Amino acid sequence: MTELDLLYSEVEEDLRSAVRALLADRCPPQAVLTRCEGPEPQDTGLWRTLAQELGVVALQVPEALGGAGASLRETAVVLEELGRACAPVPFLGSAVLATTVLLAAGELAAGEWPALCAGDRTAALAVPLSTAPDAPFPLGVRADAAGALTGAVTSVADVPGAGLLIVPADGPAGPGLYAVDGADVTVTARGSLDLTRPLVDLRLDGAPGRLLVGPDQAEAVLWEALLTGAGLLASEQLGLAEWCLATTVAYLRERRQFGRVVGSFQALKHRLADLWLDIAGARAAARAAADALATGSADAAVLVAVAASHCGAVAVRAAEEAVQLHGGIGMTWEHPVHLYLKRAKADQLALGTPGRHRASLATLATLPAPGGPLPRMPHV
Amino acid sequence: MTSADELVIRTAELLAAHDPAATEPLEFLRARFDAGLAWVHFPPGLGGLGAPRALQAVVDAELAAAGAPDNDPRRIGIGLGMAAPTILRYGTEEQKRRFLRPLWTGEEVWCQLFSEPGAGSDLAALATRAVRDGDGPDAGWTVDGQKVWTSSAHLARWAILLARTDPDVPKHQGISYFVCDMTDPGVDVRPLRQLTGEAEFNEVFLTGVRIPDAHRLGAVGEGWRIAQTTLNNERVAIGGQRTPREGGLIGILAETWRRNPELRTHELHQRLLQGWTDAEVLRLTGERLRQQLAVGQPGPEGAAAKLAFARLAQELTGLEVELLAEQGLAYGDWTMSRPELVDFTGRDAGYRYLRAKGNSIEGGSSEILRNIIAERVLGLPAEPRSDKDVPWKESAR
Ligand SMILES: Cc1cc2nc3c(=O)[nH]c(=O)nc-3n(C[C@H](O)[C@H](O)[C@H](O)COP(=O)(O)OP(=O)(O)OC[C@H]3O[C@@H](n4cnc5c(N)ncnc54)[C@H](O)[C@@H]3O)c2cc1C
């Protein structure tokens, strides 16, 4: 096991400041709240700014391809800030999931980079958002010998207006990952729990596809993309939890009842101290996962399972505590905390639930489940 | 700055001059101290080289590979973890030279005379009195009072001691910090049996104990501030230990699980996976704390690590007893003994379960640590209190 770097470098802190400043300006919570009920829940203008002014939508893409030549560690820092702002941009789908597949596709994806890096186009991985890394390869779409794709995929996140879709499909020679133009697919919006990361259903009726990754690699590449997504989602969950804690602490330091500041009641102080403690753990776990993914460590699968399991649960608890400790105002539509609650709960299901990630440790850490015959029940 | 390569060379020189196979362990440890390889982040002449703390691992690995003796840190944890950093920070040159070397080699065991029957969580309420006698070079202090829960007092040569030197000022201001000679005839150590059956800690009666002024640490009345250094280091020492994956309690549990398929149930499996994940998160949190300390940006994760450690230790040890089923009903030995070591992981599962109950009490209870995090880290207001600005002798106790 190589030494993990669990801290933030100066470059990473600079990157964080730049992203945070932009988000404070362009998507304060009230603006997100207004946008999420409007015609364009995801903010394509903000996406373009993130691409063109900060260059953060293709951080881990090599410079030769038009990216920033950074690593997944920096990508994780951006996700922390996007989580903190509950920002409605397709970063997870495009800059993480789809980008991982496109990088693995090498030359075959070369033509896609200019538009993606410029933020003119986004890409999405066409799997249900709830797909866990260890899930079987999805076979709901078939590809014929000419590359025409037919089938359906439900609950896909971060699908761009008319962008690029990466569709796992069952081809004539076996499973493959295909590039499909969004314009060739029927996209139906569905109501989604998380207002800031809307989901759609896709129907493909002979949509023209281009094979990016063939049967020999398709399963491994899809696994890598989902693992990377689950590992970096932990950083988004960390940022989200940090916002919930900070916002709640600030409120409890102001709000008075019974003639004192509510935050001086020990029952609440202890709950927040415990939450802070779990967030400190989330920070270490999320950093570990990002570092292991960035360096291609053989230990990445274990650290991703640990981070996804811990951070997914912490983010939900942080958001639930935030609602509860805001009292009545926390229950209103007007206060943005519900955006975070919905994002946290949806994130908990995204790319594998905490329980599913823990279950994968049964294999990864050799902690086998009970086996053998079931106990005998003599009285039945 | 001393680099890793340089430390490897110095370690090789030590080994060449003092072959571990042919040298008395104590002699080797003294030579190691004098070579600055005891705790490399300490200053030269005091067992260190002023090197980054993280490089200690380089030295330890080289020495372990060569089969060199260690100073049995579990036997001298209070000296290493608490007395030493406090003496280094607040001691005079003479005190540092006198105390640090035998402390590190293990020749002199230390204990901590802080808690009293009436002052536990509210440590600043302590009532043990130290009264100054005379001036000039022979000046000293006479100490009377009672301390309690004193781990290792039965083994200790020295104690770090908090005593009240001024009862007329508010309680936090009238305390001074001393080094107490445990062989003084006025020191009476009596075992206190714990729920494990053994007596790891003691009650200590101090009657007319004479402490020379040269054994006062820091200024008169500064004891409370100095004690914070001790307590902060204690928390890092308990919770911030570097462990490999599956080190400590989770390793014992995981091995039991692997070796005994017949004990496995689905419910226990879920809890095992949760415990394994929690242990790994805590390990990474400690690792992150260590990395922060190494680059000089200490964070408040120390109190957090101690709090999380206690919670996890109790979760895992309870689970282990349940997993063991029939064997979990057994308990090795209730005979009262006075252990030489404080070892959270030793002996059988029942012992571990019971000993872990102390983890959330010793070194600041979990409730107090939560208060500290809430107030000092999150900035939430303190509870209203009545004892802050009242002279100690008039305060409600
Ligand atoms: C195994 C072991 C070894 C020890 N070794 C040493 C040692 O070597 N030297 C030494 O000096 N001491 C030692 N101690 C003592 C330890 O530091 C104290 O027991 C501890 O600080 C708690 O004090 P107390 O026992 O008086 O409990 P109390 O302070 O009376 O606490 C009783 C309960 O009330 C809670 N409580 C108290 N105040 C508050 C508050 N403000 N808010 C919320 N809850 C509160 C506590 O958390 C606890 O649950 C040891 C203790 C143990 C268990």
Q: Which residue has the least CA distance to atom 52 on ligand 1? A: B362
pLDDT, mean of residues B314-331? 95
Inter-chain touch B273–A269, beta carbons under 8 Å: no
pLDDT, mean of residues A80-97? 98
Strands (E) in B140-287, as ranges, are: 140-148, 158-164, 175-181, 187-192, 201-212, 216-217
Residues of B in contact with A360 (CB under 8 A): none
Residues of B in contact with A309 (CB under 8 A): 277
pLDDT, mean of residues B268-286? 96
User: Do strands B140-148 and B129-133 pair parallel, antiparallel, or not at all (unpaired)?
Assistant: antiparallel
The chain B residue lying nearest A367, using CA atoms, is B258
**Distance, in angstroms, between A114 CA and closest chain B CA?**
38
Out of A73-77, A132-136, B134-138, B245-249, pick the least confident. Answer: B134-138
Tokens 């000022």: give the residue. Answer: B169
For residue B242, the model assigns a pLDDT of 78
- Choosing from B113, B362, B366, B370 the residue with most ligand 1 atoms within 8 A of its CB, the one to mutate for a pocket test is B362
In order, the DSSP letters of A139-165 are: -SEEE-TT-EEEEEEEEEES--SS-EE
Distance (Å, rounded) from C-alpha A58 to C-alpha A116? 8
For residue A1, the model assigns a pLDDT of 47
User: Do strands B110-113 and B158-164 pair parallel, antiparallel, or not at all (unpaired)?
Assistant: parallel
Residues of A in contact with B266 (CB under 8 A): 369-370
User: What does the pLDDT look like over A361-374, one tens digit per residue?
Assistant: 999 999 999 985 55
Report helix, strand or coil for A37: coil
Q: Which long-range contacts (CB under 8 A, 24 or more apart) does A247-253 make?
A: A247/A322, A247/A337, A248/A272, A248/A321, A248/A322, A248/A325, A248/A326, A249/B378, A249/B379, A249/B380, A251/A325, A251/A326, A252/A325, A252/B380, A253/B379, A253/B380, A253/B381
User: What does the pLDDT look like over B33-58, one tens digit per residue?
Assistant: 999 999 999 999 999 999 988 889 89
Residues of B in contact with A254 (CB under 8 A): none
Measured between CB atoms, which of A261, A266, A280 is closest to B285? A280
DSSP state of A255: -
Distance (Å, rounded) from C-alpha B210 to C-alpha B220? 16
Whose CA is closest to B123, among B380, B363, B293? B363
For residue A371, the model assigns a pLDDT of 86
Is the ipTM above a cut-off of 0.90?
yes
Give the other-Cβ count within 10 Å of A30's Cβ.
11
User: What does the pLDDT look like over B187-203, one tens digit per residue?
Assistant: 999 999 999 999 999 99
Percent of chain A with pLDDT over 90: 95
User: What does the pLDDT look like over A32-54, one tens digit per residue?
Assistant: 999 998 989 999 999 999 999 99
CA torsion through residues A186, A191, A193, A197, sign: positive
Q: Which residue has the least CA distance to atom 7 on ligand 1? A: B150
This prediction's pTM:
0.93
Inter-chain touch A306–B264, beta carbons under 8 Å: no
- Does B302 have pLDDT greater than 80? no
Range ranked top by mean pLDDT from A142-156, B122-136, B321-335, B346-360: A142-156
Q: Which residues line ligand 1 (CB under 6 A)?
A: B 111-112, 114-115, 120-121, 149-151, 201, 358, 361-362, 364-365, 367-368, 371
* Amino acid identity for residue A372 in this structure: G
**Distance, in angstroms, between A245 CA and closest chain B CA?**
9
Enumerate the active-site residues of B.
234
- Does B59 have pLDDT greater than 50? yes
For residue B137, the model assigns a pLDDT of 78
- Does A64 have pLDDT greater than 90? yes
| Mutation to test the B interface, candidates A255, A269, A275, most B Cβ within 10 Å | A269
The chain B residue lying nearest A282, using CA atoms, is B281
Tokens of B136: 């000039």
Distance (Å, rounded) from C-alpha A17 to C-alpha A36? 25
**Distance, in angstroms, between A288 CA and closest chain B CA?**
7
For residue B333, the model assigns a pLDDT of 87
The helix-helix angle for B266-294 and B249-259 (nearest 10°) equals: 150
pLDDT, mean of residues B227-255? 87
- Does B389 have pLDDT greater than 90? no
pLDDT, mean of residues B9-24? 96
User: What does the pLDDT look like over A293-348, one tens digit per residue?
Assistant: 999 999 999 999 999 999 999 999 999 999 999 999 999 999 999 999 999 999 99
For residue A373, the model assigns a pLDDT of 55
**A248: Cβ contacts below 8 Å, ≥ 6 apart:** A272, A321, A322, A325, A326
